Amino acid sequence: MLAWLHDHERLFEFTLVGFAALVLAILPALPAIPLCPILIMTGSPCPFCGTTRSLWSILHLRFEDAWQFHPVGYVILLMVARRFSLDAFRNIDALRAIPAIQLLERRPVEHTLIALFFASGTLRFLGFV
């Protein structure tokens, strides 16, 4: 029962991420209005303001713009790529023997990416990036 539920959660997660990536990829431009609810409500940017625009820029191959909007876009891209690659290769024993795949399966990699995500947002909020 739990394996079935886990597979459906994974399918939902991939569908949601795929739909968001598709929408960002086909939009010719993002709206000029702020997308951050904290910025809208308080007038102050949150540590992650610019992340959506950064991801949009990456999907449109505007890498310099993506970095200027927010460096965390690249960290999010790495986290999503890691998640998709691990699920794609999890049942292929020959690929699981590759050292790079074994490294990606370790939890410290995931924790490092999450730490980079929050560190990047915090440094940007404090004005260092």
101 pLDDT more than 90? no
3-class DSSP state of 52: helix
Residue whose C-alpha is closest to residue 50's, from 128, 126, 124: 124
C-alpha 106 chain-centroid distance:
18
Q: pLDDT category, 1, cuts 50, 70, 90?
A: very low
> Which residue has 């950064």 as its token pair?
54
Q: Which of 48-52, 61-65, 99-103 is the least confident region?
A: 99-103
Domain boundaries, the chain: 43-129
Which amino acid appears at position 8 of this protein?
H
Alpha-carbon gap, residue 11 to 33, rounded angstroms: 32
Asked whether the whole model's pTM tops 0.85, one would answer: no
Task: With cut-offs at 50, 70 and 90, classify the pLDDT of residue 62.
Answer: very high
Give percent of the chain above pLDDT 70. 75
- Single-letter code of the amino acid located at 19: F
Predicted confidence (pLDDT) at residue 103 exceeds the cutoff of 70: no
pLDDT in tens, 38-50: 888 888 888 788 8
